[in-house]
Amino acid sequence: MTKKELSQLYYLNREIEEQQRRLAELEEAATSCTAHITGMPHVKGVSDKVGDYAAEIADLKSLLDLNLKKCFYELSRLNRYIQSIDDSEMRQILSLRYINGLSWNQVAASISIYATEDSVRKAHDRFLRKNKSCPKCPL
């Protein structure tokens, strides 16, 4: 498995967070729509802002639901791959990095008080290089 494949869960989670933020904004905008009473005659072409927001909210909710399903699938796929690895320390490194989303510094601190950010990252890189079909291929 490549770094890009391992990182998909991270990027899916970021995408979901962004969609949730956007959904909250849309819901706030839809609920804060009030008519402005000015005493002036109404202009033709008045639009239904709540209706427009409702359609956009429904679309975003369906996209969010789809991404959540992808996220669960990706999490399951990553867990299966990581559990198939013989080396316990490497399983822990990959799990902390790609499932928990920790930085290399946090992974090192979780592994051992003697581990450094660089040593953990380099062990990870060596493992990925070793377990690819093409040893000279980039990660």
Range(s) of the domain holding residue 118: 86-139
H helices of 1-135, in order, are 3-6, 8-31, 49-83, 88-94, 104-111, 117-130
Residue 66 and residue 16 share a domain: yes
For the cut 70, the answer to whether the pLDDT of residue 44 exceeds it is: no
Mean pLDDT of the chain: 86
Find the mean pLDDT for residues 49-68: 86
Tell me the one-letter amino acid at 45. G
Residue 60 and residue 22 share a domain: yes
Residue 126 and residue 108 share a domain: yes
Residue 56 and residue 8 share a domain: yes
Residue 62 and residue 7 share a domain: yes
Find the mean pLDDT for residues 86-115: 95
Residue 62 and residue 2 share a domain: yes
Do 19 and 67 touch, CB atoms closer than 8 A? Answer: yes
Has residue 54 been placed in a domain? yes
Has residue 55 been placed in a domain? yes
Give me 6's structure tokens: 């391992």
Tell me the one-letter amino acid at 63. L
For the cut 70, the answer to whether the pLDDT of residue 41 exceeds it is: no
Count of domains in the chain?
2
Residue 109 and residue 75 share a domain: no
Residue 136 and residue 100 share a domain: yes
Residue 21 and residue 54 share a domain: yes
Q: What are the CA-CA distances from residue 34 to residues 26, 57, 81, 115 (Å)?
A: 15, 18, 52, 58
For the cut 90, the answer to whether the pLDDT of residue 96 exceeds it is: yes
Using only the alpha carbons of the chain, give its radius of gyration: 23
Residue 76 and residue 9 share a domain: yes
- What pLDDT, on the 0 to 100 scale, is given for residue 21? 94
CATH of the domain at 100: 1.10.10
pTM of the model: 0.74
